[in-house]
Chains A and B, each alone.
Chain A
Amino acid sequence: MQSDASSTPPAPPSAIRGAQATPRLRLRDVTKHFPGCLANDRVSLDLQPGEIHALLGENGAGKSTLVKILYGVQSADSGTIEWEGRPVDIPNPGTARALGIGMVFQHFSLFETLSVADNVALALGSGTGRDASLIQEISRLSEEYGLALDPGRIVHELSVGERQRVEIVRCLMQNPSLIVMDEPTSVLTPHEVTRLFSVLRRLRDEGRTILYISHKLQEIRDLCDRATILRGGKVVASCDPRVETPKSLAALMIGRSFDGPKSDKPVSTGAGVPLLEVHGLSQEAASPFGTSLKNVSLHVRAGEVLGIAGVAGNGQNTLLAALSGESVSPRDDWIKFEGKSIGRVGARGRRDMGITFVPEERLGHGSVPDLSLDENALLSGWRRWGLVRRGLISRGKAREKAETVIEAFNVVSAGSSAAARSLSGGNLQKFIIGREILQEPKLLIAAQPTWGVDAGSAAAIQTALMELARSGAGVIVVSQDLDELFMISDRVAVIFDGHLSESRPTHATTAEEVGLLMGGLFEAAS
Chain B
Amino acid sequence: MITLDRRPETSHIWLYATPLLAVFLTVLCGAILFAFLGFDPADALHAYFILPLADQYGLGELTVKATPLAMIAVGLALGFRANVWNIGAEGQLTLGAIFGGGLALAFYGQEGPLLLPAMLIGGMVGGALWAAIPAFLRTRFNANEILVSLMLTYVAGLLLSYLVTGPWKDPMGFGFPQTRLFGEGAILPILLDGTRMHIGFPLALVAVAAAWFIVSRSLFGFQIKVVGLTPPAAGYAGFSGRRIIWATLMIGGALAGLAGAIEVSGPIGQLTPSISPGYGFTAIIVAFLGRLHPVGILLAALLMALSYIGGETAQIELGLPVAVTGVFQGMLLFFLLASDVLVHFRVRFRLRGAGRAA
Contacts and interface: CB of A to CB of B under 8 A. Distances in A.
B40 interface: no
Interface string A353-381: 00001010100111111110001001110
A89 B236 contact: no
Contacts of B274: none
Given A81-B357, A368-B226, A326 B236 contact: yes
B237 A75 contact: no
Contact of A347 (B226, B237, B358): B237
B219 A391 contact: yes
Nearest to B357: A76
Given A78-B358, A80-B357, A346-B238, A367 B222 contact: no
A476 interface: no
A422 B9 contact: yes
A348 B233 CA distance: 12
A379 B232 contact: no
Interface string B214-237: 000111101001100110110111
Given A366-B236, A368-B229, A392 B219 contact: yes
Nearest to A31: B357
Interface residues of A, number: 46
B209 to A, nearest CB: 15
Interface size bucket, B side?
Answer: 20 to 34
Contacts of B236: 324, 326, 347, 357, 359, 365-366, 379-380
Contact of A78 (B8, B217, B220, B357): B357
Contacts of A30: 357
Contact of B5 (A35, A76, A89): A35
B218 A392 contact: yes
B233 A364 contact: yes
Interface in B180-239: 217-220, 222, 225-226, 229-230, 232-233, 235-239
B346 interface: yes
Contact of B233 (A90, A379, A421): A379
A77 B357 contact: yes
A221 interface: no
Given A359-B236, A365-B236, A392-B219, A422 B8 contact: yes
A521 interface: no
A371 B221 CA distance: 13
Interface string A313-335: 00000000000111000000000
Interface string A289-330: 000000000000000000000000000000000001110000
B355 A393 contact: no
B83 to A, nearest CB: 13
Q: Which of B222, B346, B356 has the most chain A CB within a 10 Å cutoff? A: B222
A97 to B, nearest CB: 18
A473 to B, nearest CB: 20
A1 B239 CA distance: 58
A375 B230 CA distance: 13
A261 to B, nearest CB: 26
B110 interface: no
| Residue in A36, A77, A81 with the greatest tally of chain B CB atoms within 10 Å | A77
Interface string A61-93: 000000001000001111111000000011100
A30 B356 CA distance: 11
A466 to B, nearest CB: 24
Contacts of A89: 356-357
Interface in B313-347: 346
Nearest to B356: A75
A388 B10 CA distance: 27
Interface in A1-37: 1, 30, 35-36
A351 interface: yes
A351 B238 CA distance: 9
Given A30-B357, A69-B357, A368 B233 contact: yes
A422 B6 CA distance: 12
A36 B235 CA distance: 34
B238 to A, nearest CB: 3
Contact of A393 (B8, B217, B237, B346): B217
Given A76-B357, A79-B358, A80-B357, A348 B238 contact: yes
A361 B233 CA distance: 10
Contact of A370 (B10, B217, B239, B358): B10
A419 interface: yes
A393 B218 contact: yes
Interface string A393-419: 100000000000000000000000001
Nearest to A1: B358
Contact of A369 (B220, B230, B355): B230
A357 to B, nearest CB: 7
A77 B355 contact: yes
Contacts of B355: 75, 77
A90 B358 CA distance: 10
A361 B232 CA distance: 10
B243 to A, nearest CB: 12
A258 interface: no
A379 B226 contact: yes
A392 B233 CA distance: 20
Given A80-B357, A422-B9, A391 B218 contact: yes
A391 B220 contact: yes
B232 A380 contact: no
A275 B102 CA distance: 61
Contacts of A366: 233, 236
B238 A347 contact: yes
A111 to B, nearest CB: 26
A451 interface: no
A382 B230 CA distance: 17
Contact of A380 (B9, B218, B237): B237
Nearest to A366: B236
A364 B230 contact: yes
B142 to A, nearest CB: 14
A202 B357 CA distance: 34
B353 to A, nearest CB: 10
Contacts of A326: 235-236
A364 B232 CA distance: 7
Given A364-B233, A369-B230, A393-B217, A36 B8 contact: yes
Interface string A261-280: 00000000000000000000
Contacts of B222: 375, 378, 393
Nearest to B348: A35
Q: Which of A351, A361, A365 has the most chain B CB atoms closer than 10 A to its own CB?
A: A365
A360 B10 CA distance: 25
Contacts of A419: 9
Contacts of B220: 391
Nearest to A69: B357
A371 B358 CA distance: 41
A324 B217 CA distance: 28
23 contacts: A36-B8, A76-B356, A77-B355, A79-B357, A80-B357, A89-B357, A90-B357, A326-B236, A346-B238, A349-B238, A359-B232, A361-B232, A364-B232, A368-B229, A369-B229, A370-B10, A379-B237, A391-B219, A391-B220, A392-B217, A393-B218, A419-B9, A422-B8
Given A365-B233, A393-B217, 4 more contacts: A78-B358, A349-B238, A371-B226, A419-B9
The 8 closest A-B pairs by CB, nearest first: A348-B238, A76-B357, A347-B238, A365-B232, A368-B230, A75-B356, A388-B219, A379-B237
